[in-house]
Amino acid sequence: MKDLHDVIIRPVLTEKGLFDVDEKRYVFEVPVTANKFEIKQAVEAVFAADGVKVDRVNTVRTIGKVKRQGLHSGRRPEVKKAYVTLKKDSKPIKFFDGYGN
């Protein structure tokens, strides 16, 4: 089993992602190999002091774009994002305070 702190790479702080902070929906970048069950356990464990309870997890996997520099071509890395929705009775994550509308 992986260390739960390695499942969440970083929060995604984009304008689109921050619109849903008021509805207790947060976006995190996760490893491509992580599944929804591991992501749910990791969020509840990392933010346990805040009293966070996860309702559901949706994931999006984006393939890296092909980039060229002259004759050489390469690919940007793949990214997997997890959209985590908290339960109604759950407390919000304190890290995201002040970022929402």
Tell me, yes or no, whether 97 lies in a domain. Answer: no
Strands (E), the chain: 10-11, 25-30, 54-62, 66-69, 72-75, 79-86
Domains of the chain: total: 1
The pLDDT tens digits for 5-17 are 899 999 999 988 8
Which residues lie closer than 8 Å to 13 by C-beta, 6 or more apart? 99
98 in a structural domain: no
Domain that holds residue 40: 4-87
Q: Is residue 20 part of a domain?
A: yes
pLDDT in tens, 30-48: 999 999 999 999 999 999 8
Residue 80 within a domain: yes
In a domain, 10, yes or no: yes
- Separation CA 76–CA 67 (nearest Å): 7
pTM score, two decimals? 0.86
